[in-house]
Structures are given as C-alpha cells and as structure tokens.
Amino acid sequence: MQLSLTSSPHNHSHKSLSTIMLKVCLAASLGIVCQAYFFGFGVLIQLLLAITTAVVAEALVLKLRKRDIKTALSDYSAVLTALLLAISIPPLAPWWVIVIGTAFAIIFVKQLYGGLGFNLFNPAMAGYVLLLISFPVQMTTWSPPMELAFNQHSLLDEISVIFTGITQSGFTTEQLRLGVDGVSMATPLDSLKTGLSKGLTTSESLQNPIFGEFAGIGWQWVNVAYLLGGIYLLKSRIINWHIPVGFLASLAICASIGVVFHPGVSTGPILHLFSGATMLAAFFVSAQVPFCIYLAAQPC
Amino acid sequence: MESILEQIERGKLWNIPGGVHPASNKASSTQHPIKRLPLPESLTIPIKQHIGDNGKLLVNVGDYVLKGQPLTEAAGHWSVPVHAPTSGTISEIAMKPSTHPSALPEPSVVLTPDGEDTWCELAPWPDFYAKSNQEIVDRIQNAGISGMGGAGFPAYIKAQPKNEIEFLIINGVECEPYISADDMLMREHANELIKGIEVLRKLYQPTKILIGIEDDKPEAIEALTKACENDHYTQVCAVPTKYPSGGEKQLIQILTSKHVPQGGIPSDIGMVVHNVGTIYAIYQAIYHGKPLIERVVTVTGDTIASPCNVWSLLGTPIKFLLEQTGFQPQQWQRVIMGGPMMGFTLPSVRLPIIKTSNCVLAPSSQEMPMPGEEKACIRCSACADACPASLLPQQLQWFAKSKEYNKLEEHNLFDCIECGACAYVCPSEIPLVQYYRVAKAEIRQEREDKVKAERAKERFEARNERLKREQEERQNRHKRAAKRTTDEAKSKVAEASKRVASNDKSAAVAAALARAKAKRTENGEPDNSEMAKLRAERKAQARAYKEEKPASVTTDNKKDAVAAAIARAKAKKAEQAEASNVSDTASDPRKAAVAAAIARAKAKKASSDLDSTTVSSEAAVSEPASTEDPRKAAVAAAIARAKAKKAAKKADSQNADTQAAESETPSEDDPRKAAVAAAIVRAKAKKAAKEAESQNDGTLAAEPTAQSEDDPRKAAVAAAIARAKAKKAAKEADSQNADTQAAESETPSEEDPRKAAVAAAIARAKAKKAAKEAESQSAADVQHNEQNNSQIEDHALPKDNISQEQAVPLDAEARKKAAIAAAIAKAKAKKAKQDKGSE
C-alpha cells in the first residue's frame, strides 16, 4: 500500500486566504445593500467597475510577471481591494475615477511591490488617497439620501451620470445633489461644520433635515450595517478586536470630552460613531483586512 | 499576597500565550473500554525506543524467551532495556525500519510468539516503602520505562533530579486532537495511577502533586478526583482545553505560573513532569514487577471502522492494529503516528508500536485534506498570535527562507517546540514547522561543521608550522653540512699532514713517504721491499679504517664502505691529476663497486710502479670525498681509477679500460655475481695468458675450498684475491686476450652465486698456480689467503652489528662488506705476494 507523506501539522484551521477574503466581502455586503438602499444603485455600479478593473489589471500584470493568473486571482484579494475602494468613493463619481483608483491600487500599490504579501500599503486606501488628491471635487460630491433628494433618479439615470456626467433627463451630478429645498445637500458632518461656521449651536444644526434618529439619515444605518459586518468578522475570528475597539473607543472618548467641555459646539459620541465611514474604517480599513489580517487567537 | 501554592490550592490556573483550538475528535475512540487484541504473528522490538544509548543485547537467534524477560540490558548513558512482550522464540535479530519519520533501520529483535504468553518470574514489591530510593530507581530503569508522552526520555533519569522538587506534575492533558489513550487509562486505572504517583512521591518528596487534565475529559477528572479524595497532597487540576497545553513547559506555566528557563529543564525550577502512561508503567514495575511491554494505543480516524483504544504489545506491527480495527485505506491514504498536530506520517504500516507510540491515526482525505499549495505570506501575524512560545513565526519563516541563521537564533528558533499551531492557523498554508525543522537541522549541521572546520584549521596551522620548522631545520642542516664539509676537508688535510709527521696510525704513510724519497732517488725500477712496505701500509690503513668505523660519526655504513673505495679512487685521481667525467656513468652502486674493485686492483698495480707520494695525497683526499653521494662517488671512483690506470699503464691502458667498462654489464644482477664474474674474467685472462698450463691440479685444489665458501663475502674476497693475482698474471700476459675473454664471461656470470664462487675458486686456484709458477710459493699463499679471510670476517663483525642497528637492508650490507672485503683481500693478497717476493 502506498502511503502519502506530509509534514506536521496534518490538520489545518481551514481558514485559507480565499475564505478569509470572501468572508470579509460577505461582512461588507450588508453595508453595501444599505448604501444602495439609501443612496441609490450608484455604489453597485462603482463596485462592478472596480471589480472588473481590478481583475483585469491583476491578470494583466500577472501575465507580464509570468505568474499563474488563476491561483493569484482565486485568493480574491483583488476583489476585496476593489470592493473597499468602491464603497469609499461617492456613488455617482464619474467612471474613470474608480477605474483610475483601482488600476493604480492593483498595478502600482500591490503588484509592483511584488504582489500579495509584499505590498507596503493597503492598496485600496492608497488608491483612495490618490483619488482624493487628484480629483478632490469628484471625490467629495456626495449625493443626499434618496428620500431627501430633489431630483429623484433611477438606475439608468445613475449609469448615465457615472458614464456621461448627465442623467437621461439632462440633470448634472450637481443638480442631483440638490435637496428638497433646492439647496445643495452636504453630508451630515459637513452640515454641522457649516452650521458652526454660521454661528449656530450644535443643537440648532441638528435640526437640519439631513439628521435622523441618532445620526445622519441613511448614514446611520449604513454604519450600523458595517458595525454588524464587523461583529461578524470578530465572531468568525477573522479580525482581532484590538484595532476596531481601540479606534472606536478613542473616537467616542474624544467626542465625549468635547461634549463635556464645549457642549454647545460639540456633538455626542453617537453621532460621531454612526456618521460618515466610521464603522467602515474601524472594521474594514483600520484592521487592514486585505493588507494585514488579524486572525483568530485567544487573547493572552 | 497569597503564595503560589495557596493560589494553586484555591484552584487558580494561569494562561499560556497563543494556542489553537482544533476540533478534538476524541469521542469516537472513547466509546469502548480499552480492548485486548489477540497475539500478532510476530513482534519486532527495536532495541532502542527512547532517547539515549542502545542497550546491550542479551539474546541470540533461536533463544526461547518468556514474557517480560529482558532482551537487552542497560548500557551507556540514558539507556533502558527492552523486554520480550510475550513468550516465544527469537527468530531474527537484524536491522529493521524504525518507527520514525525516516524509517531508518534500527537493530531490532523479531520474536515469534508461542501463544502461551507465559510470564517470566516476577518480583512484585507490594510494600515498596521498604525499598531504598536507589532500588526503586534501578527497578524503574530495568523495567525499561521511558517517557510515554512522546519524547521517550528515560524515566529513571527524571527520577533522580539534582534539585529539590517542589511540584510533581502528572501530565494527563492530552491536548492533541484524536488521541484518547491517556484519557482512557485515567478513566479505567485511576487507582493504579494514584499508587504509581505514591512511588514518585517517595522518590521526590514534593510539596504538592498536581494532576493536569484538560476539561474536555470530565470522566477522567472525576475518576482521578475520586481516587485521590483523601489525599491532600494530590490535586487534580482541570486545565482549559487548548492546544498545546500538554507541552511540558506549557503545563508548568498553566499550573504554577512558572517559566522553565530558556535551554533549561523543569527540575531547574523544582518541577518534574511525568505522563500518566509513564506513571502506570511505574506502578506495574514496582507493585507487580512487570516491565514495560505494552501500552495503550488509540487507533482512530475516519478510515478506521471501529476506532478504539487497545492494549498493544510493544513490537506489534501497526498493520496488525489497523487490520484488527477495520482499516479501509483510501487513495493517498496517510497513516499518522501520533496526533494530527505533531505526529508524523508513516512511510509503511509494517513498523512496530514502540514505547512512545500513543496513537495511530488513519484519517480520510475529507477530514484531513492534503495540504494546499503554499501561498505568499500576507503578514497577517496569525501565527504569532497562535505561538505558545511567544515567538514570531512569520519572522522566523522569512529568516529560514533566506537562511539567516544568526537571525533565527536571535529570534529564539530553538525555543520552538514544533507544536504546529502556527502552521495550523496560517491562511497561506505555509508549512512553517517544516521550515523550522530544516533550519534547526541546518544550524546544528553548521555548528558541527564549524567545530570540524576549526579542528581542520588547527591541524592545518600545526602542519604549516611543522613544515616551516622542518624546512628551517633542513636549511640549517645544509648550512652545517656545507660548513662541516669544508671544515672537515681542511681538518682532514691538516690531520693527514699531521699524521704524516707524527700519527702512529700513519706510520705506514711515513714509511710510504720514506719510500717515495727512496724512489725519487732510484727513479723507475720497482723494488720489492718498497712494494711490501706499501702493501703493509695499505693494509694497516684499511684496518684502521675499519676499526674507526664503529665509532665513526658518519651515519651511513654504506657510505663508509663506498667511501673507502672512493678514497682510494680519489687518491689515484689526485695523483693522476686528471679530471673525471662523473655524470655519464651508470648509477648502480653495485656496478660501481665492482668497477671500483677492478679499477682498484689495477690501480694498485699501477701505483706500485708510481711514486709513493700517492699515499699522503690519498689520505688527504679520502675524507672530503666521502661526504658526497656514494653512488656517484663510487662510479666516479671507478672511472677515476680506470683513468688512473690508463695513465699509469701506458702500454696496458686500452685493455684495462675496456675491462672495467665491460664488467658493468654482468654486475647488474648481483654484486656477488659481479664480483665473481670479475674474478672469472681475470682468471680466464690468466688462463689465456698461461696457455701452456694444464688444468688438472687447479681443479682438484679448488674443489675443497669451493665447498667451504658458501658465504658470498668469502666468495667476493676470494674473487678479489683471484683478481689481484689474475691481474698480476694479466699484466704479464698479452692484454688483447683478456679483453676477448671478458666479453665472453657475461654468460656464466649470470648463474648461481655458488657456482660463481666455485668458478672463482677455480679461478683462484689457477691464479695460484700461475702465481706458483711465477713465484713457486703456492701452498703458503693459499694458507695466507685463508688467514686473511678469517681476519676480514673479524673486522666485518662490528660493522655488521651497526648495520643491523641502523636498519640498513642486509643485502646492501652484504654487498658493502663484500666490496670492502674484496678491497682488503686484494690488498692482502698483494701484500702476501709482495712479502713472498721480498723473501
């Protein structure tokens, strides 16, 4: 009888690279659904564009590097990079923004450093930085939640805006950003900042219709979704609690300090925790999932 | 602040860093009690199943052994014996594949059971307290008990620690997945284990005994807790299930919070850890006198139809165990000895169960997939989180791959216990442990190489020094020798001149000088009395020379012998003042010697005609010449002599020269032969010269002499004498004849030396006869010759001894002697003749 010989250990945690990547994507999916629900399908289009670009770019470079394309792609690390970048940029940003960002992330930040495991930076975040510096206008053109939008838009409108800059009915991206009152809508945190510069107190600013139950309309639920995704990652021991908890705790503590000393011009920790990309950053970026995965381990 | 002991008694446990939680999969093998299997057809017992030295074999092939009978006895360090697991016959003692990842053959005893399973006589100690600790330790050793947890460390070594033991820890953690052997043993034999612990308690006198059991074995915990209910010394500690809590250092840390120092052993901090299997073996050995011949083995895995624990005799083929438990092999089947984390895959199932075999795991490819392809490290640090030794596996991996051994050691690679937790969690499926193993092996190899290289370097340097020293010595010696040569030459010249004036040894020389003066006045006509004096002087010189030799500083006897000839040759050379061509002659010393002898003989005759100033010059030149290469010198001498003769014998010269040259050819074989041949040549020459003479008398006279002359030396002497006489005759006869005869003589000379000797004798006889005719004194001559022979032998004796001391080959010695003897003989012969002549 021919016996196979292998080196110990003979069993494995069955946490392979690809399952980890896929689980992270899965954890992010709830947030993406929320984003699509509150802010339109733009994010899905961006996602599609990003993933396509990432896969093509990765395959291209791997071919040039004479590496096995299939094995490298099957770890889904490129997909995860694309996903993170796609959910980080405004959903209605022009198509070339995401294409440039993803291509840069994959080709320059990841592959030119030697591919997975050899990159110095988180490719998605490096791509984000590039885009923010290069295209500040496009990268800050966030549209209001659908329920507050003056000009309602369909999926086709969004596709049209992303690829041509105008909807089918001729609205520009700027026009889509107009709120119900006809004023260009800012993000919740932006409106707070604007309010403060106008001399309004925090409580007065919070009267802005953009704010919902405990944070900005739409944003609060998106953050809740990412928080749930993060808890899933913690539960499935894909990430360690140290970084996200440290991140969120310091944010909450700093916000609380502000409230204690300057209640008039400060907002509570809840608003901070559930606004913007806080939860996304806490669980999907700062824990550096595609770059540095913290795996299951019993705390000492 | 409560002490550690109080905290322990309170039930506090500590945590270890890292660790993993693989699925334990122990339930399937704990469904049934430990089974007993039928006897296998044969048992293969490797004589080394532990860490340490092999035992000494006590049995031979064909021996009948009883169950429990020792097959080996402890010998060397860390050595424990092995015993016959059942009664039967030793069918083979040979190298058999070992139960090791390499399966390298180890000496093993193959036992064919007789089926009776008859125990040998046992000596139970129900009351071991009456025994001394040393007796107990000896019994533990003689029962062949080595650590049964995995490493196989001889238990008797651990049983006599250097330090005082505070905590005796019993390891029943069994953290490896799948294995349940210790679990079942604890469940079923809790009371025996407690008794075994009693034995160790007597040995160690610890403050506390801690039994560590993972909390996923509630039955075992319960059984042991119950067994030691009334024992406040012993405490059962339920350790949280985590791999690798069962590691020795890890368990100590969990139970007592203490760390075993790096590179240290538990007894350094007052701890000793024993596996429950070992405890049970100690119990059996002390209470029942039974040696370690069986152990509990877990046979499990998805390809095993009925996973279970079995009492397996040591030496049972794994194949037998698998067959007994319903093994259904798959494609790419793996059979693992040990657990899935630290066990090793077996290259064959025909390997035996040994003392450290706790589990045979035959997983299906579903439950334990083959390892995937190694992918790039993503620096996720999962491995570092899992490492129980707080190492940085990821860093170690990079260093191992780039072979940075210094960095590896800086990062404490040797603290790695190879538990496999890092590789278990690695998402890139990097076989980290394998990298570490290879790196460790390479580092060990490098260390060994370094030691070797250092030794080699030392050796090399020592050699260089020695060579240098030797070279210097050589140079010094050369310098000294060169100095000595010139000094000696000077001193010899001085000495010679002094001798000429005063030395009694050179009275003869003085006589020669006187003669020379006389000759100068006479000028021309040879005087017999003058000749006689010259001979006497020569003889005296030769004797003095011989006597000097034993005391002589010169190292080489051969040199001396040759030198004697050379000296004479040189003298002649000097006298002739003719340059000689040294290099173009044949190199053989024998030839040279022969040639020298011939030349000498002739030269002597010549010299007798010449002025006697020869003698003083001969004495002066002889010593410096001896420092040269003997062979060359000898050859040179021969040539010189030949030339001298040529010069001396203006009429005869052509003749002698040819003769000397021709004599070289026959001399190639044996110096004795050559000498004899030379004699023959001359004898024949004489014969030719004396055509008128009849042969009858000569032959008759020669025969008795020939019989007595076995000794080659004698023969040579005789030959020389013959030669001398022959020469004399030849001188008188026509030279042309001799020449022709010499050429013919080559053939007979190749024969037996004795024949040659006979021939020589004949020659001599004839020569004598010739001499008789010439001088009519033959009878006296023969007598004289014989006297000479005995004299020569006497002289040769001391030299003989020296030559043996100096380990000069006897053959060479004989040759030398012969040559010298020949020369002396010649001299005597001549002297005798001269004497007679003068009378």
Domain boundary among B239, B260, B289: B289
Write the residue in B340, B372, B434 that is nearest to A11 by C-beta. Answer: B340
Residue B378 forms part of a structural domain: no
Write the residue in B344, B349, B428 that is nearest to A17 by C-beta. Answer: B428
Residue B700 forms part of a structural domain: yes
Spatial separation of the C-alpha atoms in residues B566 and B362, rounded to whole Å: 93
Q: What residues of chain A lie within 8 A of the CB of B177, using their CB?
A: 11
Count of helices and strands (H, E) across chain A: 15, 0
CA distance to partner chain B, nearest, from residue A228 (Å): 22
Is the Cβ pair A7, B373 closer than 8 Å?
A: no
Q: What residues of chain A lie within 8 A of the CB of B336, using their CB?
A: 10
- Name the pairing type of β-strands B344-345 and B56-57: unpaired
Is the Cβ pair A118, B370 closer than 8 Å?
A: no
Write the residue in B177, B427, B434 that is nearest to A15 by C-beta. Answer: B427
Q: Is the pLDDT of residue B710 over 60?
A: no
Give the model confidence (pLDDT) of A222-253 as tens digits: 999 999 999 999 998 888 888 899 999 999 99
Q: How many CB pairs under 8 A join A and B?
A: 131
Cβ within 8 Å of B, A 202-261: 240
Is the Cβ pair B378, A4 closer than 8 Å?
A: no
Q: What residues of chain B lie within 8 A of the CB of A240, using their CB?
A: 385
> Which residue in chain B has the smallest CA separation from A68?
B375
Q: What is the pLDDT of residue B740?
A: 42
Name the more confident of B632 and B748. B632
Domain boundary among B289, B314, B348: B289
Write the residue in A13, A71, A117 that is nearest to B378 by C-beta. Answer: A117
- Residue of A5, A7, A300 to mutate when probing chain B, most B C-beta within 10 A: A7
- Residue of B178, B361, B375, B437 to mutate when probing chain A, most A C-beta within 10 A: B375
Band (pLDDT 50/70/90 cuts) for residue B687 is low
Name the more confident of B415 and B514. B415
pTM of the model: 0.63
- The mean pLDDT value for A171-187 works out to 72
- The mean pLDDT value for B626-647 works out to 54
Q: Is the pLDDT of residue B812 over 60?
A: no
**Which tokens hold the place of B427?**
């998402």
Q: Is the pLDDT of residue B781 over 50?
A: no
Residue B371 forms part of a structural domain: no
In a 13 Å sphere around the CA of B503, the CA atoms on its Cβ side amount to 17
Residue B317 forms part of a structural domain: no
Q: What is the 3-state secondary structure (H, E, C) of B152-195?
A: CCEHHHHCCCCCCCCEEEEEECCCCCCCCHHHHHHHHCHHHHHH
Name the more confident of A196 and B507. A196
CA distance to partner chain A, nearest, from residue B344 (Å): 6
Q: Which residues span the domain enclosing B675?
A: 503-838
> Which residue in chain A has the smallest CA separation from B438?
A7
Spatial separation of the C-alpha atoms in residues B60 and A212, rounded to whole Å: 93
Contact B282, B192 (CB under 8 A): no
Q: What is the pLDDT of residue B492?
A: 72
Q: What residues of chain A lie within 8 A of the CB of B373, using their CB?
A: 71
Q: What is the pLDDT of residue B625?
A: 40
Q: Is the pLDDT of residue B507 over 50?
A: yes
Write the residue in A10, A293, A300 that is nearest to B380 by C-beta. Answer: A293
Band (pLDDT 50/70/90 cuts) for residue B817 is low
Across chain B, mean pLDDT equals 75
Domain boundary among B289, B309, B340: B289
Rg of chain A (C-alpha set): 21
CA distance to partner chain A, nearest, from residue B386 (Å): 6
Name the more confident of B658 and B215. B215
Spatial separation of the C-alpha atoms in residues A22 and A33, rounded to whole Å: 16
- The mean pLDDT value for A55-74 works out to 90
Write the residue in A3, A10, A15 that is nearest to B347 by C-beta. Answer: A3
Is the Cβ pair A294, B423 closer than 8 Å?
A: no
- The mean pLDDT value for A83-90 works out to 92
Q: What residues of chain B lie within 8 A of the CB of A5, using their CB?
A: 334, 345, 347
Is the Cβ pair A12, B343 closer than 8 Å?
A: no
Contact A117, B378 (CB under 8 A): yes
- Name the pairing type of β-strands B294-300 and B56-57: unpaired
> Which residue in chain A has the smallest CA separation from B24?
A11
Spatial separation of the C-alpha atoms in residues B837 and B830, rounded to whole Å: 10
The share of chain A scoring above pLDDT 90, in percent, equals: 40
Q: What residues of chain A lie within 8 A of the CB of B23, using their CB?
A: 11
How would you class A198 by CB atoms within 10 Å of its CB: exposed for 0-12, middle for 13-18, buried for 19 or more? exposed
Write the residue in B340, B386, B429 that is nearest to A16 by C-beta. Answer: B429
Band (pLDDT 50/70/90 cuts) for residue B541 is confident
Q: What is the pLDDT of residue B78?
A: 83
Question: The CATH number of the domain where B235 resides is what?
Answer: 3.40.50.11540
Write the residue in B333, B427, B437 that is nearest to A17 by C-beta. Answer: B427
Q: Is the pLDDT of residue B574 over 70?
A: no
- B73 bridge partner residues: B56
Residue B260 forms part of a structural domain: yes
Write the ipTM: 0.79
Q: Which of the residue ranges A185-194, B312-321, B652-661 would you say has the lowest mean pLDDT?
A: B652-661
Closest CA to A31 of A212, A217, A290, A229: A229
Spatial separation of the C-alpha atoms in residues B570 and B564, rounded to whole Å: 10
**Which tokens hold the place of B487?**
């000094």
Q: What residues of chain B lie within 8 A of the CB of A300, using their CB?
A: 15, 17-18
Q: What is the pLDDT of residue B773?
A: 59
> Which residue in chain B has the smallest CA separation from A9?
B341
Rounded (10°) angle between helices B589-609 and B671-689: 40
- Residue of A5, A8, A240, A300 to mutate when probing chain B, most B C-beta within 10 A: A8
**Which tokens hold the place of A272?**
């901070």
> Which residue in chain B has the smallest CA separation from A114?
B376
Q: Is the pLDDT of residue B475 over 70?
A: yes
- Name the pairing type of β-strands B64-65 and B88-97: antiparallel
Band (pLDDT 50/70/90 cuts) for residue B796 is very low
List the B43-46 sheet strands across, edge first. B43-46, B105-113, B88-97, B64-65
Q: What residues of chain B lie within 8 A of the CB of A9, using their CB?
A: 340-342, 420-421, 423-424, 433
Residue B535 forms part of a structural domain: yes
Write the residue in B340, B379, B437 that is nearest to A292 by C-beta. Answer: B379
Cβ within 8 Å of B, A 4-23: 4-13, 15-17, 20
Spatial separation of the C-alpha atoms in residues B683 and B674, rounded to whole Å: 14
Give the model confidence (pLDDT) of B346-367 as tens digits: 999 999 999 999 999 999 988 8
Residue B62 forms part of a structural domain: no
Spatial separation of the C-alpha atoms in residues A105 and B238, rounded to whole Å: 51
Name the more confident of B457 and A288. B457
Give the model confidence (pLDDT) of A14-43 as tens digits: 888 888 889 999 999 999 999 999 988 899
The DSSP line for B733-750 is S-HHHHHHHHHHTHHHHT
Name the more confident of A118 and B651. A118
Q: How remote is the C-alpha of A153 from its chain's centroid?
A: 23
Is the Cβ pair A117, B377 closer than 8 Å?
A: yes
The count of structural domains within chain B is: 2
How would you class B330 by CB atoms within 10 Å of its CB: exposed for 0-12, middle for 13-18, buried for 19 or more? middle
Q: What residues of chain A lie within 8 A of the CB of B335, using their CB?
A: 3
Is the Cβ pair A116, B18 closer than 8 Å?
A: no
Is the Cβ pair B334, A6 closer than 8 Å?
A: yes
Band (pLDDT 50/70/90 cuts) for residue B698 is very low
Q: What residues of chain B lie within 8 A of the CB of A117, using their CB?
A: 375-379, 428
Residue B615 forms part of a structural domain: yes
- The mean pLDDT value for B673-679 works out to 55
Is the Cβ pair A294, B336 closer than 8 Å?
A: no
Is the Cβ pair A11, B425 closer than 8 Å?
A: no
Q: What is the pLDDT of residue A212?
A: 80
Name the more confident of B322 and B625. B322
Q: Which of B165-174, B569-578, B764-773, B820-829 has the highest mean pLDDT?
A: B165-174
Q: What is the pLDDT of residue B119?
A: 92
How would you class A96 by CB atoms within 10 Å of its CB: exposed for 0-12, middle for 13-18, buried for 19 or more? middle
Closest CA to B618 of B542, B521, B731: B542
Q: Is the pLDDT of residue B594 over 60?
A: no
Q: What residues of chain B lie within 8 A of the CB of A295, using their CB?
A: 380-382, 385-386, 425, 427
CA distance to partner chain B, nearest, from residue A35 (Å): 29
Q: What is the pLDDT of residue A70?
A: 87
> Which residue in chain A has the smallest CA separation from B341?
A9
Closest CA to B355 of B99, B120, B106: B99
- Residue of B26, B102, B378 to mutate when probing chain A, most A C-beta within 10 A: B378
Residue A21: Cβ within 10 Å count: 26
